[in-house]
Structure 1
Amino acid sequence: MRSLSAVSGAVLLALATPTFANQQENGEKKAELERIQVTARKTVENLQQVPVAVTSIGATELAEKGIAELIEVQQFSPNTTLQRSRGTNSTITAFIRGVGQQDPLWGYEPGVGIYIDDVYLARPQGAVLDLIDVERVEVLRGPQGTLYGKNTIGGAIKYVTKEMTGDATFNVSASVGSYNQRDIKLTGQYPLIQDTLYVGVGYANLNRDGFGEYLQSDLPNQDTENYNKEVEAARVTLEWHANDDLFFRLNWDKTDDTSNAKGGYRLLPSLLTDAPVPNSVYDSYTSLPTWNKVELEGYSLLANWDLTDATSLKYVASKRESYSPTNIDFDNTPLRIFDVPAVYDDNQTSHELQLNHAGENYKLVSGLYYYDGESCGQFEAILEVLGNAISLPGLTREVSGCNNSSSKAAYIQGSYYFNQQWSATLGARYTQDEKEANVNNGLVFETVYPYSGWIPGYERPAGELVPEVLNDNEDWSRFTPRLGVEYQHSDDMMFFASYAQGFKSGTYNPRATTAEPAANPEIVDSFELGMKSEWNDNLRANITLFSLLHKDRQYISILPGETSADLNQRLGNIGRSESQGIEAEFTYVATDNLNFNASIGYIDAEFTEVIDTDPETGEEFDKSDQFDIANTPDLTFNLGFDYSIESSFGDFVVNGNYYHRGDYVLFEEASLLSQDAYGLVNLGVTWYSNDGHWSASLTGKNLTDEEYLVGGYQFVTPDPTDPTDTSKYTPGLGGDNTLIGYYGDPRTVTLTVNYRF
């Protein structure tokens, strides 16, 4: 019988991939939970013995549930938010337990680290990864500052690709679906030298028409698809098993996303145009080109040497580059009221040397890490229409610069087993972080784009257009500990308690208008108390309580200006927040054929201190009552099932789930954009042929066609004469009512056919 995957794990537990196992007991088959292995602590371990809040979803479950992108994993991990970020299809907004990154501009650091085969992705651009040739996805909740380092104060997400088997195989997968979806994926491997040297390849071409369209554009000959998809991705892997103890893997990957720029939905009528609010939330207007591009390319080398049966040495090196010119029409009108064409240009290199050792009653993970990254960009805030529709020859605020960083770290974490029941874990990481930044910022009294040819016939003026306002460097160092104690009550039940600390790097304001100092690092202290358990071999129940203190939160303050053309923002450490919550995941194997799973997350998160200064009196005051934790519903839960059917035509697996997200806001301060609670219903069926060569799946997502906000922009303020009236606003930057929403995917149905030979 074919094994089935299920979601399991929670709070330091794991949204792993339980499957059905069959055993003989008194002559009868017995439904039983499968043992799941993860690498949350950088060594291979049984999920139920890892005192870390980790969710792991394996390749079979990903395929059977039709999970095609990294952001869909949020449904199966409690207190987790993974969304597309506003005006592009490839930039991620990631929050775990109320900690993440709101602004994707260069220089800002993430709060949730994303890794591909243990290689850290420093920037959110391109991080909405399509799941191609993946072995599993792991979501680690809570600070991972000891083993994974800075910028994992909310948690970490690990994308693990498949290791080759050495057999000659080739797989073809084709999908068709709603909105003219047409995808092709090709993967394969071939032994160049039997049992020694293998080569693997992967290619994907992913296409879909838009969910909506641009109703009116200021430029001719533009592609009017909105929320469309055009992605090409390729991967080549070379594995060398030099001997039983020495292994090398060399990877190359490249992704080109040429999907259109994503237009937002105007939630308020424009004051300066006669374009009505669109009928569909996926329709928009624009005065910018509709093209968009995200180019990613990376190389990585893994070397693993088993020095002895108990000791291994691993080296991971990588180099990654990304380039993304993009068009974001903030006002979403056919006029140049607030247009922002931008370019992001990033590259990074990293090296990690790791030593693992297991003794008779202890095990140890240690390593050295080095990272060097350059993050640069430029954007133009084009404001040609101000105030009462007064046309000007052109007005642009140009901002450009770089935030370059280097980081060195040493870490060690060990577990000591006092006896068969009690153990303790102690870890520490020391990091030296350095950042240098320059910012150019100023007004240009004409319409300016980042480079010539941005729009047909445009030639950019020569020379520097705006002055340099900041050129500085700063360094920080941090010691981040982890301390835990574990009690193995029985073979099937473990209790644990832990304290962990993480930090998010200090940084400079990439929109600085003066030589302002860098913001200091953010610090998160986290406490967890949890249980991992299996009952009667068919019920897994993992429960974790957590509490965290988030200190020195970095925040952009909007400073008042003389006109609506001012874009004055200042970065500083002004906030402190606290969160407490619970995460639980359950898997119940009812029979050989039927499996139920559930995950539940509840969090009570709030700002406890936000210090600001009164511009008139110079006195400090606390305005935490005006702040909320963004992108963090208080309640998330997922209920699902898997049911297998054996027949003479092959095996069938039917699965479904209902995913609920509670109310949440999109911005921390006085958010005007909020999303009411909603639920998503997904159903699927997968068929496997008896000969093992063919499979096919039919998957329906968001079957009730829910409309829900995942991003937005707010450049309006409530009318000061009547702030309680939500229909009255004072225009913001550009002189218009700019309140914009971006939405999650509508109902889609996809048919996928796979052939393996």
Structure 2
Amino acid sequence: MARTFGTTTRMRLAQAAATTALALGLAAPAMAADEQAPAALEKGLKEIVVTAQFRSQKLQDTPLSITAVNSELLKSRNQTDISQIAANAPNVQLTQMGGAFGSSMAAYIRGVGQYDFNPAYEPGVGLYIDDVYYATLTGSVMDLLDLDRVEVLRGPQGTLTGRNSIGGAIKMFSAKPTAENSGTVEAAYGARNRLDLRATANYALTENLYARVSGVFKRQDGYVKQLDYGCANPSNSLGITGNASSGKDCVVDKLGGKNYSGVRGSLRYKPNDKLDWIVAADYTYENRTNAASVLTVNNTAKTGGVDFRCGRFCTYASFYMPAGGQAGQAYTMPNTTMFTGWGVSSNLSYNITDDLKLQSITAYRKYKQTFGTDDDFTPYAPAGGAGYNDLSFKFFSQELRLNGKIGTLGEWTLGGFYNDQKSVYYTRQDIRYIVPNVPTFYLQFMGNDPIPANSKAAFGTVILHPTSALNVTAGLRYTSEHKDYTFVRKTWAGGTLNDIFGVGALNGSQATYDGKKLDWRISADYRFNPQLMAYATVSTGFKGGGVTARPFTKTQATNGTFRPETLTSYELGIKTDLLDRRLRVNLAGFVNDYKNIQLPISDCSLLDGYAPGTDPFPCAAIQNAGDGKMYGVEAEVSASPIEGLDMDATLSFIDGEWNRISAQVTSIKLSDPITTPNWRGSFGMQYKADMGKNGSLTPRIDYAYTGKQTMGRLGVTAPLDYNPAFGITNARLTWKNEKQDLAISLEVQNLFDKYYFLPLRFQALYASAGTVYSNVGRPREWALSVRKSF
């Protein structure tokens, strides 16, 4: 006989409340609760297996700060792209960029990372797909297509991953082809004509050969209206006329739209227990409007006396520039971003003996991205500029690992990594606004810059077991890297650019960086009992050096090479499984000693050969201009107090101080925060109500909090600006049939329609054009999805 839904639900919720109170230390001792626990609870929380140390280990046995999320939790949270992972990981910030940065992502872990997409600069957070390193921020906001799990490793990964990563690493692992015939189909429709389609198919082609194919398509209208200013304000004081082609209500387009599609296929050959070989290929296409940005600061003294801010979800950005200089007639830049990319990889594992395993990971990737910019984000032509960007990239990598054992004493890994890459950055820039009274011809140029780079590394790790409870880990990594940048500065038609201002002299100049670095890690962990493990780690990492990518003079280019920034991290942590594995609590505390930090400088006098403060040329260089310390604590909690009820929560705090700021940096002061926000937190809860033959019903709610964050200052003497703290709530209700092969879900994201800005803004033109623009978070939106498994 089927159980009564209402009675069963009330009983479970009552027990959940009691167990939750116990977990918070508000009820009886743990032993009493364990004695009363029903037999159905003995299985507790699921084990998660990670491969952060080159071998399969339980998450709770790995002496690293790792947030590991499996595919089921990703689905239940409705997380479909990588930028959403940060909401549930301590001290992790992944922000989708836009405007002047194209299709890229700013990635920071524990306050260390990178936001600039330019290939002259290295990412501070390593991104991996099936152990293949993704070398750039461009194209990194990818769909979580057919994943098995995601591992977010916090802290320097100098001795562990394929490439050195100073802040941490995000590793995504696809579901492997298996010896079965199965698949899924999913469709979703929602707000602003959202349409998502997903499908996966797995086939056993032969007894030893399996195939898996998956695909995704996502489309949605934007949520920031791009308005024609002249159309909406026909009698404006500036005499800006409307465009006859403007749409209804003067709407030109809607920024923040989606148009993304991707496909991935893999073959797996596994003839025996010794050999396992997976070959995979993928293709991605994206063609959408630029990020949803609005004007947030407008100095009317520089914009013709008009405030061009028009509302919470609208902009007057025109992507238009008038005739002048090389521009014989007025022109418009595209307001869209297009990305096409593909890659192939081979991951071969071979067990030479029971104690010796060889792994070879080979990959090739290529992409092309184009996008236009409106630098001042107004229709007022004298205020700002515009740019067209075309970035192409190709990348080859090879990694070899040899894993072995030393009897029962320990395990070891030896490996090598090599990558070779080349970017070509074509751009057509109109920056005549930058320096007043300079002939406009000299601040309009075409660039077509090749940026080749390579990296070579050798690494080793040994894990010793002096006792059954104690493990000691040591690792070393030696890295050698090279990068050079050749500057092309010509007229738009490809002719010689006059050198009156200095930009023309850049043409043909080359800047070169070569560096070598030794990183190390020492760690010890001790398991006091099956419920408690503690560890201590000291590790180093670095972010590679490079060259100044946006010089205004030849000397800024040739003298602008900068060294790696380095980090030494000290970390203590504990990992626990409590209450018969119904409660999991992981805690970590760290101190980072951060040296030679790569910062943008605003005075290039030393690079140009002038006395400090006397350089007549503008400056957008990067130099090793700071040192500092950061410290923080992190907590991750998972609980399954009764059958069907699952909860998870995170809380993190980070702070620190600058020890040194170069005089060339005028936008940062020693008293400024070295990293923000200080606080982040999240909470999620779901309850699966079993309704017998009627299937199951699972409501879920998630909340993510981001503390207030510094956004820099608008001028040397101006106070710091802050992005206010905000919290976002998402909700989802899922029904599954009795066989659990059909699911229907209703989701609402940003349930309370919170208006907020993403924590990065574009303010490079404030001094000259008087404007700043920011990316707006997505408003409340709903979707209904249907998923069928077979």
Give your verdict on TM over 0.5: yes
In the TM superposition, what is the alpha-carbon distance from 1:147 to its structure 2 partner?
A: 1.2
1:248 aligned to 2:277? yes
> 2:619 is matched by which residue type in structure 1?
N
In the TM superposition, what is the alpha-carbon distance from 1:627 to its structure 2 partner?
A: 4.4
1:531 aligned to 2:535? no
> 2:337 is matched by which residue type in structure 1?
N
| Greater relative contact order, per chain length (Cα 8 Å cut-off, separation 6+) | 1
Asked if the contact 1:125–1:294 (Cα under 8 Å) also holds between the matched residues in 2, the reply is no
Match 2:81 to one of 44, 69, 77: 69
> 1:163 is matched by which residue type in structure 2?
K
Name the counterpart of 1:472.
511
Match 1:84 to one of 96, 101, 115: 96
Name the counterpart of 2:399.
352
Distance in 2 separating the partners of 1:220 and 1:42: 61
In the TM superposition, what is the alpha-carbon distance from 1:709 to its structure 2 partner?
A: 2.1
Asked if the contact 1:383–1:394 (Cα under 8 Å) also holds between the matched residues in 2, the reply is no
Distance in 2 separating the partners of 1:420 and 1:560: 58
1:485 aligned to 2:528? no
Name the counterpart of 1:456.
none
- Provide the secondary structure at the position in 2 that maps to 1:71: helix
Name the counterpart of 2:746.
698
Give unpaired runs (5+ residues) of structure 2.
Answer: 4-34, 230-241, 247-251, 320-332, 499-503, 606-612
Distance in 2 separating the partners of 1:597 and 1:177: 27
Q: 1:303 to 1:495 in 2, by over 3 A?
A: same
Name the counterpart of 2:681.
637
> 1:505 is matched by which residue type in structure 2?
G
Distance in 2 separating the partners of 1:117 and 1:235: 12
Moved more, 665-674 or 231-240: 665-674
Match 2:694 to one of 640, 649, 657: 649
In the TM superposition, what is the alpha-carbon distance from 1:391 to its structure 2 partner?
A: 11
Distance in 2 separating the partners of 1:282 and 1:622: 29
Deviation string, structure 1 residues 325-375 (Cα, Å, up to 9, x no partner): 111212112244221221211111000011112331211222111111112
Distance in 2 separating the partners of 1:84 and 1:161: 22
Distance in 1 separating the partners of 2:38 and 2:125: 49
Q: 1:565 to 1:624 in 2, by over 3 A?
A: closer
Q: Give the number of equivalent residue pairs.
A: 698
- Determine which structure has more spread, i.e. the larger CA radius of gyration: 2
Asked if the contact 1:401–1:438 (Cα under 8 Å) also holds between the matched residues in 2, the reply is yes
Distance in 1 separating the partners of 2:41 and 2:521: 43
Asked if the contact 1:89–1:259 (Cα under 8 Å) also holds between the matched residues in 2, the reply is no
Q: 1:280 to 1:311 in 2, by over 3 A?
A: same
> 1:732 is matched by which residue type in structure 2?
A
> 2:334 is matched by which residue type in structure 1?
P
Q: 1:658 to 1:25 in 2, by over 3 A?
A: closer
> 1:205 is matched by which residue type in structure 2?
F
Match 1:159 to one of 151, 168, 172: 172
Map of 1:645-724 to 2, 5 A cutoff? 645-647=689-691, 648-667=693-712, 673-710=721-758, 711-715=760-764
Distance in 2 separating the partners of 1:518 and 1:394: 25
- Provide the secondary structure at the position in 1 that maps to 2:423: strand
Q: 1:28 to 1:407 in 2, by over 3 A?
A: closer
Distance in 2 separating the partners of 1:601 and 1:558: 33
> 2:788 is matched by which residue type in structure 1?
Y
In proportion to residue count, which structure has more strand? 1
Asked if the contact 2:292–2:776 (Cα under 8 Å) also holds between the matched residues in 1, the reply is no
Distance in 2 separating the partners of 1:382 and 1:220: 25
Match 1:496 to one of 527, 531, 535: 535
Distance in 1 separating the partners of 2:47 and 2:543: 34
In the TM superposition, what is the alpha-carbon distance from 1:390 to its structure 2 partner?
A: 12
Asked if the contact 1:117–1:160 (Cα under 8 Å) also holds between the matched residues in 2, the reply is yes
Distance in 2 separating the partners of 1:118 and 1:150: 10
Deviation string, structure 1 residues 162-189 (Cα, Å, up to 9, x no partner): 0122211232110111111001112112
Map of 1:220-369 to 2, 5 A cutoff? 224-262=253-291, 264-269=293-298, 271-272=302-303, 274=306, 276-287=308-319, 288-336=333-381, 337-358=384-405, 359-369=407-417
In the TM superposition, what is the alpha-carbon distance from 1:201 to its structure 2 partner?
A: 1.2
Name the counterpart of 1:424.
472
Q: 1:150 to 1:350 in 2, by over 3 A?
A: closer
In the TM superposition, what is the alpha-carbon distance from 1:744 to its structure 2 partner?
A: 2.0
Asked if the contact 2:401–2:416 (Cα under 8 Å) also holds between the matched residues in 1, the reply is yes
Asked if the contact 1:64–1:697 (Cα under 8 Å) also holds between the matched residues in 2, the reply is no
Q: 1:668 to 1:490 in 2, by over 3 A?
A: farther
Deviation string, structure 1 residues 207-241 (Cα, Å, up to 9, x no partner): 00001221128988686121000011111111111
Asked if the contact 2:334–2:373 (Cα under 8 Å) also holds between the matched residues in 1, the reply is no
> 1:231 is matched by which residue type in structure 2?
Y
Match 2:563 to one of 516, 520, 537: 520
Deviation string, structure 1 residues 266-317 (Cα, Å, up to 9, x no partner): 1233533557312124544122222321111111011111122222111000
Deviation string, structure 1 residues 504-525 (Cα, Å, up to 9, x no partner): 1110111122221410011100
TM-score (norm 2): 0.83
1:589 aligned to 2:620? no
In the TM superposition, what is the alpha-carbon distance from 1:383 to its structure 2 partner?
A: 3.7
Distance in 2 separating the partners of 1:104 and 1:228: 21
Q: Quick one: percent identity of the two aligned structures? A: 26
Asked if the contact 2:471–2:526 (Cα under 8 Å) also holds between the matched residues in 1, the reply is yes
Distance in 2 separating the partners of 1:657 and 1:597: 9
Asked if the contact 1:263–1:283 (Cα under 8 Å) also holds between the matched residues in 2, the reply is no
Asked if the contact 1:601–1:636 (Cα under 8 Å) also holds between the matched residues in 2, the reply is yes
Map of 1:195-206 to 2, 5 A cutoff? 195-206=207-218
In proportion to residue count, which structure has more helix? 2
Distance in 1 separating the partners of 2:467 and 2:393: 49
In the TM superposition, what is the alpha-carbon distance from 1:567 to its structure 2 partner?
A: 4.5
> 2:628 is matched by which residue type in structure 1?
S
Q: 1:418 to 1:45 in 2, by over 3 A?
A: same
> 1:661 is matched by which residue type in structure 2?
T
Name the counterpart of 1:568.
619
Distance in 2 separating the partners of 1:230 and 1:563: 48
Asked if the contact 2:701–2:731 (Cα under 8 Å) also holds between the matched residues in 1, the reply is yes
Distance in 1 separating the partners of 2:438 and 2:226: 25
In the TM superposition, what is the alpha-carbon distance from 1:255 to its structure 2 partner?
A: 0.5
Q: 1:361 to 1:221 in 2, by over 3 A?
A: farther
Q: 1:100 to 1:623 in 2, by over 3 A?
A: closer
Deviation string, structure 1 residues 707-753 (Cα, Å, up to 9, x no partner): 2222211136xxxxxxxxxxxxxx523xx212111122221212111
Q: 1:141 to 1:386 in 2, by over 3 A?
A: closer
TM-score (norm 1): 0.87
Q: 1:592 to 1:116 in 2, by over 3 A?
A: same
- Provide the secondary structure at the position in 2 that maps to 1:48: helix
Q: 1:157 to 1:28 in 2, by over 3 A?
A: closer
Moved more, 522-531 or 38-47: 38-47
